[in-house]
Amino acid sequence: MAYIESVIVQSYDPAINFDPISSINNKRPDNNRLVIYNNPGKLSEEVILSFAIDQPDDVEVSVYTLQGQLIDKEILSNRSSGEQTHTIAANMFQSTGNYLVVLKSKSGISTGRLIRY
């Protein structure tokens, strides 16, 4: 059975609301949830990803432009189960705009929209 999972995107400005981006996950709905901090954020700010996995695994984090160009891909090796964080350096983003963050593990796939200004 597949579940539709909404990605939670939080901002430091509570007046900003986001439309959730969905992902399909074959595990229970709370697995692999992805929260993006400093979003929207200045081009000069690092990005912090917070997520959870339900079993020890390698986690792939990819960042794409909305045109589909891969700008960063990292394999986070040997992550333990439970809550995780990962930081994306500010210098990864060469221009302002919208980006897509894709998180893949055995727990499922989650996506989130990242905005740099």
C-alpha span between 53 and 106 (Å, rounded): 8
Query: 3-23, pLDDT tens digit by residue?
Result: 334 444 444 445 544 444 444
Model confidence pTM above 0.75: no
Using the Cα atoms of residue 11, residue 13, residue 15 and residue 16 in order, give the sign of their dihedral.
negative
Query: 86-107, pLDDT tens digit by residue?
Result: 999 999 898 999 999 999 998 8
Q: Are 93 and 65 in contact (CB under 8 A)?
A: no
C-alpha span between 55 and 107 (Å, rounded): 7
Q: What CATH number does the domain containing 54 carry?
A: 2.60.40.3080
CA dihedral 73, 79, 83, 88 (to 10 degrees): -30
Structurally, how many domains does the chain consist of?
A: 1
Structural domain span for residue 104:
3-116
